[in-house]
Structure 1
Amino acid sequence: MPEQPSLTTRQLMAGVHLDTRYRNAVIDELYEHAERYSAPSYDVDAAAVLAEALNARRTALRWAVPMALLWIAGFFFAGWLFALYAAGCAALSGAVALRMSRHPLVRLTAGIPRVLGGSALVAYAAIAVAADWPEVTAALGIPVLMAVVAGAHRATVERRLRFIGSSAYRGPAQPPRADAISALTRGEQMSPLVVHRDPTPFLGAGTSASHSRALAVQVHGRTGAFAVSDAQSRITRSVRAVAGLATRVDERFLLPDEGVPPRSRLHPHPDELPASTHWLRIVSLGLGSQTTVFVRILLDGPVLYVEQVTCALPPVRRKFRVAHLPGARPVRLASALAAPAGLLAELVAWPVRQAPRLSSPRSSRPPGGPHTSIRELAAEPDLPPLAAADAERISQTVWLLVLDALRTTLRDQGLSAPGLDEIQVEQHGVAQSGGIYIGNISPGSAAFGSQARAGDITRHTSPGPTTNPDDDSWEDDLG
């Protein structure tokens, strides 16, 4: 029996049926631009989502053909009056597209075309009733037939959504090219090697949840005995020893896409990659959200560098999450009224999408890193407050474990780093020694020892007015 997709994968599969723009983005990134390496997917089978997206497009095109014939018949029999109906459908289709936007301000504007489209359809119906036969027959009969076609398409989508959510789900059949692309994508998802564009090395993990942390300390002793792999192994054991902290700890090699070979020919051994590409990845899954901490350790002569980047991925959009649940009504009335225009647009856009294939054959496109992540595209625009607080807690905890593991590793190998042993943390303007304070310190504002430098230092933010009448430090934050 084929392995069943994860819950997140099922939610993204539902999304390609419910959101045309999301479906097009998935196909464009993973299929039309097959020369690009795929972004890492966490708990998501990107190849299965692509297969479902291609199936959703084929389904929409099949129902778009009879819809296009009805549009032609409407303009032929009803004449100029049918243009009013077309304007109403187009406005409602635009409203549906605006409602699917990830930006709140854009979603607020969806009411304008919805009101205009509804008014146009009401006016169309009123004029059609007052018109002479046979115009009234065409003006009212053709929209009824369009509603039948749109309803049949909607029923097909809802059956598919129920099938996606069932334990009997099987992936759709694919053409040979799609099978080959899916095999490459699945191989990249399981590989520790990640090819990325320079601006987005952590694509797929979400947005930065807190300030990155960086530390540089001087190591005393024979540094040739220090092995980064030993420190990484100790960090891994420390993280796994904390119950509930991480669901996955592994190593990733982040390789810039400049000069990389095609996807099918990239098989480097990890030992052949520079040390700067080695990162330890710590993944923690929450209630729908995900926190990922990347840690890199480098030894350059006597200087030990430590970097930590924390990313957080919001939950999948609510519409995608509830689509496969029993009793869910994923298709709204506005979407049903806009379906005639949406299906026609799908058919019209199909030849437009074929143009780039003729002007720029795939074989002539240079390989490169991914431009987007299908999981990030399906996420809510904002991280929930509790998830953001959880991400900061995880980031702080991992940072403490990393520092402790480095101290132990150096000590076991007969080395020392005063910058790690003499920790100084500035808290509320008071320098403290001998401990680490998590409370209200700004992420990245910690400096370790006289020879240490804290990276990504931000302006100190005091906690606000206190009960001490002589404490006016908070006024500095008011500018």
Structure 2
Amino acid sequence: MARTDVPAQPGEPEGGGRLRKTPADPAGSVEPIGREAPPPLLPTPPGASETTRLLCAGTYLDETFRDEVIDELYVHEERFAAPSSGIDAARVLAHALRARRLQLAWAGAILLLWIVALPLSSWLAALYFFPIALMALGRFMRKLSFLPPWLAVVGSFVLRWYGRISLLLFVVALLVGAFGGGLAGIGRLPLPSLPSLPTSDSGYSTFSTASTASTDAAVGADDPYTGSYDVPDTGGALSNAFPLWVALLLLPAVALLVALQRGQFARALHSELSEQRFPDVMSDPAERFEGLRFQRLRDLVRAEQHGPLVMYRDTNPFCGAGQPFKIWSLTVELNPRTDRTAEPLDNGAILERIVPLVAALRVPTPHGSPEVAAAVRDRLRALEIEECVFLPAQGLKARTHAPYAPPDFAHHRAEAVEEGGERRRHLLRIRVGGWREGVVVTVFVRVHTQGGMLMLEVAPHVLWPLRQLFQDADRIAHQYRHHHHFGKAVWALAGTPRSAGAAVLTLLRGLASVWRLATDGHGSALPEGPAVSVRELGSYGESSLFQDMDVARYLETIQQRVAAGVTTALRAAGYQTDEFEQRIVNVAKGGVYVESAQGAVGIGDHNTITHNTGTARSGTDGKGPK
């Protein structure tokens, strides 16, 4: 059996000292003998990370994502914040609220413009609703799963183009009427049939293209494009063109608002959400919002999301860590060696052997000179190690009663490390944030001794990259800002027909959120663990081959050092290590073998695997290289 022997490291604990959080700082690093370790790579503050910036941008791009963030962190104030690995969920919440306020303002402006234009146009602007409804129905028809695909495609095509042609002909009629005789000019053009509006009771008279002599002469009595239109009864003054101009200018006015709304997002990506300005939290306009509820919840989220104490929900204790990735556990007998007397071996002593070996991964391999070694950019140099205690949220009277104070956590840590409890659990959390926190690997390690047995549990989790839309935020904003005016105008006009419906839905969602805040009573509810994680909400689950290779390398390297730490602890305490070494076999290129009831699992290529009987168990695999 091949084995990688790790030499003893200076500063390795020999007594009963306890672990502490060692987030990539010089004091927590382990330097190999005979050379000076280069300065570690300091991790980027979560509030200034690239992933936080893209998640903030995503609140402006994706309404569903924005509403989910607000619902979890703002509406459900009884829920603890999930651990936010590499991000600041409070800052994402700040931009989600700001994005919603801006969208509500734009939606209100668009809807107000329609409301003002309807009476000023003598209700001619209401005729826009018919082609707009046809186009909306066409888009909706393609999403109907119960229809045959060919019928959905054909029906959608017919409805959308019929609506576009109707809209175009109506605009042409308005132009002709505005420049050639007022309202009477509309009757000289063939138009698709449109629904009639209320007539004489509201001061309007029916104008029919099928019943006037001018229309019959233009299109004939048998023309299929016939219909009736309601025009205001102006007392014979049909040459009044003001209502026509109001109806005609409504579309470009709405298009201008649509363009300005998109331009505001592009400006935000170029200013407060740019890579240069985003690290300056104090200059962020979203952070300066003075709402008392927001400030209170923001402080709570920031106190909870990065602490060593994790308040969890029973159904999802690792919420925020990402997808499980090859979870496994191992149980072996603690058999004393025959050549010496075995010493008592507790859980803390084993973890104290693991930590220095894992921390040594921060130190680059010798490269000939300190300068060359310091230039190594491997993300293992920013590896973070932390003890954490998981506590169930049930049983607390209020969210503010959670024991986040350092003395309270120290008390829970001291009791949990040796008790092996079911609900309160002590875990070692090892984290590597790669690709600018776009891919995060977290390995949870739990060691427990009971009844002469050693139990080792390893639960790797991976946070995969953000949605592609969020990653393309800068590209989208740059393309819009540098696009020529004609292209911007075409884009705005194309989005104008759906803007009225979108504005109504936006206002309804905003009212629904306010109603829930006022009626659901979340402020007085008993605390509960997080339901979702902001970072996980923004993840897409797909990764590149390079990212898959990095995930495999991080996991294999960390797990091998964990296994080496357990082996060292067993040997130092006078216990046999043969059984443990047979269960975890170091294979080619650092691959880790863990036997299971279903067979052997090898990570890496060209592995040599030895089958053994035992009680090891492997868990569910997540997404990743197979």
TM range (shorter): 0.7 to 0.9
Offset at 1:127?
3.0
**Partners of 1:443 and 1:82 in 2: how far apart?**
68
Aligned length: 437
Tell me whether 67-76 or 138-147 shows the greater mean CA deviation. 67-76
Contact 2:398-2:527 at 8 Å conserved across structures: yes
Q: 1:320 to 1:91 in 2, by over 3 A?
A: farther
**Partners of 1:225 and 1:231 in 2: how far apart?**
11
Q: Which amino acid aligns with 1:5?
A: A
- Corresponding residue to 1:225 among 304, 319, 344: 344
- Corresponding residue to 1:264 among 391, 396, 400: 400
User: For the aligned residues, what is the CA RMSD?
Assistant: 3.7
Contact 1:235-1:405 at 8 Å conserved across structures: yes
Contact 2:311-2:390 at 8 Å conserved across structures: yes
Offset at 1:178?
0.7
Contact 1:192-1:252 at 8 Å conserved across structures: yes
- 2:315 — aligned with what? 199
1:22-33 superposed matches below 5 A:
22-33=65-76
Percent identity of paired positions between Structure 1 and Structure 2: 28
TM-score (norm 1): 0.79
1:455-470 superposed matches below 5 A:
455-456=617-618
Contact 1:13-1:53 at 8 Å conserved across structures: yes
Q: 1:119 to 1:361 in 2, by over 3 A?
A: same
- 1:309 — aligned with what? 459
- 1:216 — aligned with what? 331
**Partners of 1:88 and 1:442 in 2: how far apart?**
60
**Partners of 2:61 and 2:172 in 1: how far apart?**
34
- Corresponding residue to 2:260 among 145, 152, 162: 152
Determine whether 1:141 maps to 2:242.
no
Tell me whether 195-204 or 15-24 shows the greater mean CA deviation. 195-204
Tell me whether 286-295 or 383-392 shows the greater mean CA deviation. 383-392
Determine whether 1:291 maps to 2:441.
yes
Offset at 1:121?
3.7
Offset at 1:275?
3.7
Q: 1:118 to 1:257 in 2, by over 3 A?
A: farther
Offset at 1:231?
2.1
Offset at 1:413?
1.9
Contact 1:314-1:384 at 8 Å conserved across structures: no
Offset at 1:45?
1.0
- 2:124 — aligned with what? 78
Q: 1:12 to 1:355 in 2, by over 3 A?
A: same
Gaps of 5+ in 1: 99-108, 426-434, 460-479
Determine whether 1:327 maps to 2:327.
no
- Corresponding residue to 1:251 among 382, 387, 391: 387
Offset at 1:73?
4.3
Q: 1:157 to 1:421 in 2, by over 3 A?
A: closer
User: Could you list the per-position Cα deviations for residues 190-232 of structure 1 after superposition, in whole angstroms to 9, with x for gaps in the alignment?
Assistant: 31011222232222222123x2111011113498821322322
Q: Which amino acid aligns with 1:298?
A: H
SS in 2 for 1:397: helix
Q: In terms of Rg, which structure is larger?
A: 2
Q: 1:257 to 1:178 in 2, by over 3 A?
A: same
Offset at 1:186?
0.4
SS in 2 for 1:383: coil
SS in 1 for 2:480: coil
- Corresponding residue to 1:408 among 568, 586, 589: 568
Contact 2:46-2:87 at 8 Å conserved across structures: no
Contact 2:79-2:529 at 8 Å conserved across structures: yes
Contact 2:444-2:459 at 8 Å conserved across structures: yes
Offset at 1:144?
1.6
Q: Which amino acid aligns with 2:580?
A: L
Q: 1:215 to 1:93 in 2, by over 3 A?
A: same
Contact 1:128-1:140 at 8 Å conserved across structures: yes
**Partners of 1:111 and 1:50 in 2: how far apart?**
42
Contact 2:136-2:160 at 8 Å conserved across structures: yes
Q: 1:375 to 1:9 in 2, by over 3 A?
A: same
Offset at 1:174?
3.0
Contact 1:419-1:450 at 8 Å conserved across structures: no
Gaps of 5+ in 2: 1-44, 144-151, 178-182, 184-240, 365-377, 602-608, 622-626
Contact 1:262-1:367 at 8 Å conserved across structures: yes
TM-score (norm 2): 0.62
Contact 1:86-1:341 at 8 Å conserved across structures: no
User: Could you list the per-position Cα deviations for residues 113-153 of structure 1 after superposition, in whole angstroms to 9, with x for gaps in the alignment?
Assistant: 79965763443122332366367545432222111222222
Contact 1:217-1:451 at 8 Å conserved across structures: no
Q: 1:220 to 1:25 in 2, by over 3 A?
A: same
Q: 1:377 to 1:309 in 2, by over 3 A?
A: same
- Corresponding residue to 1:240 among 350, 356, 359: 359
Q: 1:226 to 1:26 in 2, by over 3 A?
A: same
Q: 1:309 to 1:411 in 2, by over 3 A?
A: same
Contact 1:249-1:281 at 8 Å conserved across structures: yes
Contact 2:106-2:261 at 8 Å conserved across structures: yes
